[in-house]
Structure 1
């Protein structure tokens, strides 16, 4: 079978080196690849065409943030128990486009009710959030979907949160990573593939997250996934604000 044949989907996670992706051929489950992309736009021009791109990055940014934040984060956290801290609160689009942390906090205070600042963890994601936001359109929503690894693992784990964290005190937790690897193996992904050394600038957690996202990409393609929240809203650009699993 030619490599381009079949139906290809991608599970994507941001990493220091760019974007790490697990590419899977749904027509040939043994045909999968781990590939590093420098720019998110490269996914759109990649051949074979990627029918679904499931990416762990916020898509759809509000102009003003209410008490509950983006509905997507609130809806996802409800299912994650001890893992809910992995879902960061995303501020307004104006705050995301500030390149200085203090300026971002000031803008966030002005565009949220009650006023709130920006977490440092979320601020470090802003360049990648902007990268997607700059090219995203409602028309691309048929291919590009926002996902979140911990919600993906929740779905794959029989709708139960993972019992151990991926990180402890900002360091990789091998037991938590092994737990996730074993769950992915139980869903048909090869253990040697998941245990391979990640590319430079990409961690083991990034690889496993991208793999989990690829399984959600398959669910999306097969119309088995659902958005969180179910009745999602759209932002000022007309983009849906929902996390899929």
Structure 2
């Protein structure tokens, strides 16, 4: 692991333009910046090298989904109260690799107990899940960690769920976004950075989520983050299945 004065880390969220990454050097608060990259491999190979990449996307896909699910989703939802609907159930790897929604539902139904189909919200994430899954190795998971913004906000908010939703009827909720922005400022991120107009293809919620994820990346580096569940299982390729916060 690099020394602090050389450590760059990133909090990452998927966006319409690709991936929104809030990149920081722990030794230099002024180094914070937003990068929009078209593919996840660009972050893996980013210069300067990113010591920790905390990304809001499932990592580790079982071949079969048991009654408890993959594990991380159930463990995260327990802490999120009214915000738990933001954590989507992830199906089997075979289902994730289907490109047609009905085929994905059929595949998920065959590879789960009890049999379950796929939510449309989760299906729309499949291309990005596949993108990471194609890159992930046991060596890379030393740098790349699965996170979730609402669990990040819960952690940063003294382990209390956020009282306002981020979206209402699939539209951004300005009051909920302001609440999260203010929390990030209290946790040391500059307000002017968080209030910047995001570039095309990146929403304000993407920027704030990536910023929250960057604070979890810092917690991971400092040894303060914990996996959910506490004792993660591994998928059939040996990849860890855990959301960190």
Question: Would the TM-score normalized by the shorter structure come out above 0.5?
Answer: yes
The 5 A counterparts of 1:167-206 are: 167-206=167-206
The 5 A counterparts of 1:35-184 are: 35-184=35-184
Deviation at 1:108, TM superposition (A): 0.5
In 1, distance between residues paired with 2:147 and 2:125? 15
Contact kept, 8 Å, 1:66 with 1:114, in 2: the verdict is yes
In 2, distance between residues paired with 1:8 and 1:49? 7
Deviation at 1:70, TM superposition (A): 1.2
- CA deviation vs aligned residue, 1:44-96 (integer Å, no higher than 9, x gap): 21111100000000000011001121110000000000000000000000000
Q: What RMSD in Å do the two structures reach over aligned CA positions?
A: 0.7
Identify the residue that residue 231 of structure 2 maps to in structure 1.
231
Deviation at 1:6, TM superposition (A): 2.5
Runs of at least 4 residues off by over 3 Å = none
In 2, distance between residues paired with 1:155 and 1:198? 25
TM-score of the two chains, using structure 2 as the length reference? 0.97
The alignment partner of 1:9 has SS state of strand
User: How many equivalent residue pairs?
Assistant: 241
| Structure 1 alignment gaps of length 5 or more | none
The alignment partner of 1:220 has SS state of helix
Contact kept, 8 Å, 1:72 with 1:229, in 2: the verdict is yes
- CA deviation vs aligned residue, 1:121-146 (integer Å, no higher than 9, x gap): 00000000000000101111110000
| Structure 2 alignment gaps of length 5 or more | none
TM-score of the two chains, using structure 1 as the length reference? 0.97
In 2, distance between residues paired with 1:46 and 1:63? 31
In 2, distance between residues paired with 1:30 and 1:218? 15
Contact kept, 8 Å, 1:6 with 1:28, in 2: the verdict is no
In 2, distance between residues paired with 1:114 and 1:96? 18
The alignment partner of 1:213 has SS state of helix
Deviation at 1:199, TM superposition (A): 1.2
